[in-house]
Structure 1
Amino acid sequence: MFDKKRYGRLKWACRRGMLELDVLFMPFAETGFNELSDHQQEVFERLLTSDDPDLYAWFMGHQPCDDTEFSQMIKHILSRVKV
């Protein structure tokens, strides 16, 4: 479970060096994160530790993600966030 401090760090990690990623992660953290299961929240937190170029390639469909949990989370985020 995410306490206020951990959730604050997670929201800070959603701020990326690429605007394309910011517009995906920030709205999702605000509106979709709390609806995830505890395990899914941890997967999202781990996903945010990935490098921006990898995240960009995965989210834009330029490259498949080999991590099954990450791939499922990416699909979920894309289905929730309208850009």
Structure 2
Amino acid sequence: MVDQTELNRLFWHSRRGMLELDVLLVPFVKEVYSTLEEEDQARFRKLLSCEDQDMFGWFMEREVPEDPDHYRMVRMILDRVQP
């Protein structure tokens, strides 16, 4: 179970200052993160340590992350919002 302090920290860390990232990451933390398996929660925290420009390229599907953990989380987030 995820405690509120961790969720608050992740919420603020997900606010990147780049609208394209904020609209994907913040709702994911609010609505999905606490339901993830521990391994995926760790993958998401790892994703947040990436550079904004890298994540922007991945989420806009201009590039594919080399790290399989990053790839899994990017796909999970995109699959949630794409029809």
Q: TM-score, normalised by structure 1?
A: 0.90
What is the CA–CA distance in structure 2 between the aligned matches of 1:81 and 1:37, rounded to whole Å? 20
Q: Does 1:35 align with 2:54?
A: no
Instruction: State the identity %.
Output: 40
Structure 2 unpaired stretches of 5+:
none
Q: Kindly provide the amino acid, as one letter, of the partner of residue 18 in structure 1.
A: M
Q: Which residue of 2 is the match for residue 69 of structure 1?
A: 69
Structure 1 letter corresponding to 2:42: E
Corresponding residue of 1:55: 55
| Aligned counterparts, 1:4-23, within 5 A | 4-23=4-23
**Aligned length in residues:** 83
Structure 1 unmatched runs, 5+: none
Q: Would you say the 8 A contact 1:47–1:70 is kept in 2?
A: yes
The equivalent residue for 1:80 is: 80
Separation in 2 of the partners of 1:64 and 1:43?
Answer: 16
Contact 1:17–1:52 under 8 Å retained in 2? no
- Residue identity opposite 2:23 in structure 1: V
Q: Higher RCO, 1 or 2 (CA under 8 Å, sep at least 6)?
A: 1
TM-score, length of structure 2 as denominator length: 0.90
